[in-house]
Structure 1
């Protein structure tokens, strides 16, 4: 289960498109970036929230990967987003792929501020 978990809290996102409130656009962005980075999307589920008038509001979604997952949640009223990209490194090191997806999704969201964490998951190999 060794892997890499990249976590970001993104504030003041200034995405050029309505990606923070457009479920289909956000799903396409996330799935294509995973695929372009060399990861293997197995499926995706994205949910469109609506405000009290029925207008599109935030989006929550996940891309299930053969290598693990990407999860994203948007708050368009404040321009905030949370993003998690986790990859397992069981059969190969997927760290560079994860970093590419993570960086490209963040670039598309164009935050004015971000708080990031990188977590190495699993047990480290024992030195002989």
Structure 2
């Protein structure tokens, strides 16, 4: 195994609040950005949380990629989001594609503060 895992905590996102509370809009953004970067979405599952009064609350979701996954979770009450993009680099280097998705989703959410980490996962070892 060999891959790149990009992780971000996004604070005080200044995007349209509906993007943080609308499952369909957030799913469309994430799947579209993965496709436009050249990654291969295999499926997506996004869940809409609701307040006791029935109004939309946060959203949690994943896009399963042939190359690995994107995961996102929103807290619209505070404008905060967590974002993970992980790609496998076993048969080819997908790192730049992951960076593009990561950057574009963050730009769309427009946070006041970003705390991010880049983690190289695994290593390539010869099979015996």
Question: Structures share a fold, TM > 0.5?
Answer: yes
CA drift at 1:91: 1.1
How has the CA–CA distance of structure 1 residues 17 and 50 changed in structure 2, closer, same or farther, with 3 Å as cutoff?
A: closer
Equivalent in the alignment of 2:71: 71
CA distance in 1, matches of 2:109, 2:18: 10
Q: How does 1:29-68 map to 2 (within 5 A)?
A: 29-68=29-68
Q: Which has more helix, going by share of residues?
A: 2
- For the Cα contact (< 8 Å) 2:17–2:76, is it kept in 1? no
Question: 1:31-57 CA deviation, whole Å, 9 max, x = no partner?
Answer: 000000000000000000000101000
CA distance in 1, matches of 2:75, 2:44: 20
CA distance in 2, matches of 1:124, 1:80: 35
Q: RMSD across aligned C-alpha pairs, in angstroms?
A: 1.2
CA distance in 1, matches of 2:8, 2:59: 16
Q: Which has more strand, going by share of residues?
A: 2
Structure 1 stretches of 5 or more lacking a match?
Answer: none
Q: Return the TM-score normalized by structure 2.
A: 0.95
Structure 2 stretches of 5 or more lacking a match?
Answer: none
CA distance in 2, matches of 1:46, 1:27: 6
CA drift at 1:16: 3.2
Equivalent in the alignment of 2:89: 89
CA distance in 2, matches of 1:36, 1:121: 24
Q: Return the TM-score normalized by structure 1.
A: 0.95
Structure 1 stretches of 4+ moved >6 Å = none
CA distance in 1, matches of 2:41, 2:15: 24
Q: How does 1:19-38 map to 2 (within 5 A)?
A: 19-38=19-38
CA distance in 2, matches of 1:50, 1:14: 21
